[in-house]
Amino acid sequence: MLSKKMEKALNTQVNNEFYSAYLYMSMSAYCQSMGLKGIANWFMVQFHEEMFHAMKFYEYILRKGGKVSLQTIKQPPVEFGTPLSMFEQTYEHEQFITKCINDLVETARQEKDNATEIFLHWYVTEQIEEEENDTDMIAQLKFIGKDTSALLMFDKELAARMTTIPTEFSKGVEAALKGA
Ligand code: FEO
């Protein structure tokens, strides 16, 4: 059972994760329209990761007997500037998500909700990787600077990124993880 406060906070995070998916899909479209198909692929993989994050919260709320309350997803930007600026915006967004996860952990502690606190540990660890991915990209793009051939090589490398998480959630996230 979830307290009302915990349930509301988890539902807000479902929305934050869907917004993240929306934001990265918009970035992917922006890159695709610039001809940077590798970076577009990287962001489309990120879109799937965020959908997975959202659905993991969704399933958890239901498993705990809570009510899923879907909210309006705000419109993401359409223009993002240079690839460097785009990854800086991504890093900034991920720092916001890390803060949201930390706040959720704090709420779980206040509510003495050990199960939710343990559930959130997965996200705490995930955010380390999410922020690290972005800082790696920012460092590489700073090296590349205005060198367009290096940027095209970077784009080619990112074309190889494949999603490692399930993308089919009709039977639930946990079932998809087990390949059921
Ligand atoms: Fe769901 Fe990128 O954090």
**Helix/strand/coil (H/E/C) assignment for every residue in the chain:** CCCHHHHHHHHHHHHHHHHHHHHHHHHHHHHHHHCCHHHHHHHHHHHHHHHHHHHHHHHHHHHCCCCCCCCCCCCCCCCCCCHHHHHHHHHHHHHHHHHHHHHHHHHHHHCCCHHHHHHHHHHHHHHHHHHHHHHHHHHHHHHHCCCHHHHHHHHHHHCCCCCCCCCCCCCCHHHHHCCC
Query: How large a percentage of the chain has pLDDT more than 70?
Result: 99
Which domains are delineated in the chain? 4-69+80-163 (1.20.1260.10)
Report CA(71)–ligand 1 centroid distance (Å).
Answer: 18
pLDDT bracket for residue 180 (50, 70, 90): low
Of the two residues 130 and 164, the one the predictor is more confident about is: 130
Report CA(126)–ligand 1 centroid distance (Å).
Answer: 8
Q: Judge whether residue 156 has pLDDT over 70.
A: yes
Q: Judge whether residue 42 has pLDDT over 90.
A: yes
Asked whether 50 and 21 are in contact (CB, 8 A), the reply is: yes
Q: What's the whole-model pTM score?
A: 0.95
Q: Please state the rounded mean pLDDT for residues 157-173.
A: 90
Report CA(123)–ligand 1 centroid distance (Å).
Answer: 8
Which residues, other chains included, contact 43 with Cβ-Cβ below 8 Å and sequence gap of 6+?
24, 25, 27, 28, 31
Is the CB of 97 within 6 Å of ligand 1?
yes
Protein residue whose Cα sits closest to atom 1 of ligand 1: 50
Q: Please state the rounded mean pLDDT for residues 14-32.
A: 98
Q: Please give the mean pLDDT across all residues of the chain.
A: 96
Distance CA 12, CA 15 (A): 5
Q: Which atom of ligand 1 is nearest to the CA of 54?
A: 1
pLDDT bracket for residue 109 (50, 70, 90): very high
Task: Write down how long the chain is.
Answer: 180
Asked whether 116 and 6 are in contact (CB, 8 A), the reply is: yes
- The pLDDT score that the predictor gives to residue 44 is 97
Looking up tokens 């399933």 gives 59
